Chains A and B, each alone.
Chain A
Amino acid sequence: MTFCFHFCICLCLVIFQTTVMPYFPLFDRFYDLLAPFVIYLSLFHSVRDSIPVILFFGFVMDSLSGGPFGLYLTTYVWLFVGVRWIITFLHVGDSFLLPFVVAAGVLMQNCIFIGTVAMLEPGSRFSSATINTVGVQVFWAIFTGPIFLMFFNYFHGRWNRWLKKVFVKKS
């Protein structure tokens, strides 16, 4: 059932990101909405619960994007591994650290993207706009990332309560 919840949330995020957000110029340089979700999975869920969702939606994002196939998959897996590693010695569930974790995740994702483009297209020119885009994304992530994490956590709690109610009624 947790899988269903994760799939629904991810599907909504993908649709929102590719269809709704392009209509709002304000979100022109918004970060990938699945990045905070991957961070949420690595912070609050087990590896067994998270990996299938990450693999599936990495594949979906790779299919919808024009980048090399596997780029999103790579990013999500490394993001997941990185955050899992960080929580072994840092208590990042603390709400004070959450904005920085999301911002670091978004920064890492952008670094992988830019690195891949630079590696596969050696002649690519990176202008100040590139740095600007990364800066804007990190800025957005600091202020909105924790809200997303809390939103995911809150809805997961509600989903669990709803499921309990349904099953108690049935039994």
Chain B
Amino acid sequence: MVMIIGVIILIVVNIIGLSVSNRRYLSHYGPGRIAIYLIAPFQEVASRSIRFARDVWSHYFFLVKVAKENDNYKKALSPAIEKNTKYKELKLSNVRLRSLLKFQKAITNRALAAEVIGKDPSPWFKTIIIDKGKDDGVEKGMAVVIPEGIAGQVIEVSSDYSKVLLIIDYNSSVDALVQRNRARGIIKGGSEDRCLFKYVLRKHDITIGDTVVSSGLDGVFPKGLIVGHVSDVVRPNSGIFQEVSVTPYVDFEKLEEVLVLLSSKKHEFENKQ
């Protein structure tokens, strides 16, 4: 009997503890920063090693294999093919980085490019670790974007690394509007890498394919950044809101480089000083 009461008390204490800690994003100095500080360097090394190995594999060994086959037919051409493929890869990475740079110029805020070095260990929560932190000017609450659209926001910062909450996480919220008719709502994380566009009034005519952009009213994401497109609309018979699903343009599975939007006002002020 005593054991059962003890277990029940433990469960209750546990639930209360989790409820309290769920609000931790409000605090500025979470204990998690220490663990990120300890683990992130290992993640960075592992991440870079994998990328290096993958690059070597796909751009060298693959190439050697192809070159060997070609050697049998056109020995003279093999060095050219080798170079050609190398250039192709360079071109691809060039295009990718140029698009990032072009986007960086297009946005009004100062942006900092960062590399993704780790992902959330659980499939239920969606966060990533990036290789830029407080020393690079990153602060908690800063928006993280890529040319395809909004990726998330910084929720924890250590000296060299930061944790980013993706917009597909259930804890995430983005104030957004439909580009066509300016219907406003809140983008919340949903299941299957989708988002829910909540609190959209029933009176608004929303159709599948409509583009959703940030409204800028949440004070985190600048106005006009693309979030995704409407993929499903359910208009219940009762209630004042409609249920809208949004598929983000960002492919969160292939997120490798991101831009952190530095707080423009603060940096302008620092520049003036």
**Beta-carbon contact of B22 and A22 below 8 Å:** no
Interface flag for B15 (CB, 8 Å): yes
**Beta-carbon contact of A19 and B38 below 8 Å:** no
A-side contacts of B42, CB under 8 Å: 11, 15
Which B1-31 residues have a C-beta within 8 angstroms of A? 14-15, 17-19, 21-22, 24, 30-31
Chain A interfacial residues counted at CB < 8 A:
45
Using A19-B46, A19-B50, A74-B14 as known contacts, say yes or no to A64 and B21 having CB atoms under 8 A apart. Answer: no
Q: Which residue of A lies closest to B172 (CB)?
A: A66
Using A65-B127, A69-B30, A129-B192 as known contacts, say yes or no to A18 and B119 having CB atoms under 8 A apart. Answer: yes
Q: Which residue of B lies closest to A23 (CB)?
A: B50
**Beta-carbon contact of A70 and B35 below 8 Å:** no
A-side contacts of B18, CB under 8 Å: 68, 70-71, 74, 116, 119-120
Chain A 15-55: CB-based contact to B (< 8 A → 1; otherwise 0): 11111101101001100100000000000000000000000
> In the bound complex, how far is the Cα of B49 from the Cα of A20, in angstroms?
10
State which of B102-110, B163-171, B213-221 sits at the interface with chain A: B163-171
Residue among B34, B38, B119, B163 with max Cβ neighbours from chain A (10 Å): B119
Using A65-B122, A69-B24, A70-B18 as known contacts, say yes or no to A15 and B170 having CB atoms under 8 A apart. Answer: no
**Beta-carbon contact of B32 and A15 below 8 Å:** no
B-side contacts of A17, CB under 8 Å: 121
Interface flag for A113 (CB, 8 Å): yes
Interface flag for A104 (CB, 8 Å): no
Interface flag for B39 (CB, 8 Å): yes
Nearest CB in chain B: distance from A169 CB, A? 31
A-side contacts of B33, CB under 8 Å: 63
Interface flag for B147 (CB, 8 Å): no
Interface flag for A130 (CB, 8 Å): yes
A-side contacts of B31, CB under 8 Å: 59, 63, 69
Interface flag for A94 (CB, 8 Å): no
> In the bound complex, how far is the Cα of B22 from the Cα of A60, in angstroms?
16
Using A19-B117, A126-B191 as known contacts, say yes or no to A59 and B165 having CB atoms under 8 A apart. Answer: no
Residue among B18, B170, B196 with max Cβ neighbours from chain A (10 Å): B18
- Residues of chain A whose beta carbon lies under 8 Å from any beta carbon of chain B: 11, 14-20, 22-23, 25, 28-29, 32, 59-72, 74, 110, 113-114, 116-117, 119-121, 124-127, 129-130, 133, 137
